[in-house]
Amino acid sequence: MIPFNHLGWFFKYLGPTTYPRDAIKELCRFLRPLSQKASLLDLGSGTGVLSEFAYRCRDDLRFVAIDPSEGMLKFSPYYVEAHTARAEALPFEDESFEVVIIGEALHHFQDPDKAMQEIVRVLKGDGRLFIYEFDPGRFLGKSICRAEKMAGEPANFYKPKVLKSMLEEHGFSVEISQHGWRYTVKAQLTGAADLRLLS
């Protein structure tokens, strides 16, 4: 396993350099419709890199972060309310957030399907989800996937179409944008109420 608890300093300063500019611009456009003081959950936040990008676009939002590593969370920005927890068991009440963002973290989740159920639970009825991930269908994405498997990580990497189908099964409408060997997902709940009734 990657010793994330001891690598916060490394990801704090290296992390921002790995995000393409067009993906950051896309995040800003995604956040634009949110109301003032809307609640944002950065899931698998690490040191809060994606929250930092989001804050540059919308500094009026309420930022909350979740990560299982305290060593990563201690590098979170001052405006982020940080909690130590896993994506599969979020310590929040139902319908607590307008938006959830996930940056380079989905592939680390132990049980992505359970995490999706939790995301649906904590999102409000028309909640939005933004994901930035590596595409295992591209050479560099596939290389990262192999390296993480060798390191003992879950390595739950999804090709864009597969992740799109997975999210649609959880009640989201989904739009995918490719950024070379990386991609972003912009999703919004459509059938969340029905799904909650069935859970």
- Where do the structural domains in the chain lie, given as residue ranges? 4-198
Average pLDDT over residues 37-65: 96
**Position 135 pLDDT exceeds 90:** yes
Please write the tens of the pLDDT for every residue from 156-165.
999 999 999 9
Quick one: 4-198 is in which CATH superfamily? Vaccinia Virus protein VP39 (3.40.50.150)
How many CB atoms within 10 Å of residue 83? 15
Residue 11: per-residue pLDDT: 64
Q: What is the edge-to-edge ordering of all strands in the sheet holding 80-84?
A: 80-84, 62-67, 39-43, 97-103, 123-134, 182-189, 172-179
The two structure tokens encoding residue 132:
């930035």
**Position 7 pLDDT exceeds 90:** no
In sequence order, the 6+-apart residues with CB closer than 8 A to the CB of 163 are: 106, 131, 133, 176, 185
Q: Which of 12-16, 32-36, 42-46, 104-108 has the lowest mean pLDDT?
A: 12-16
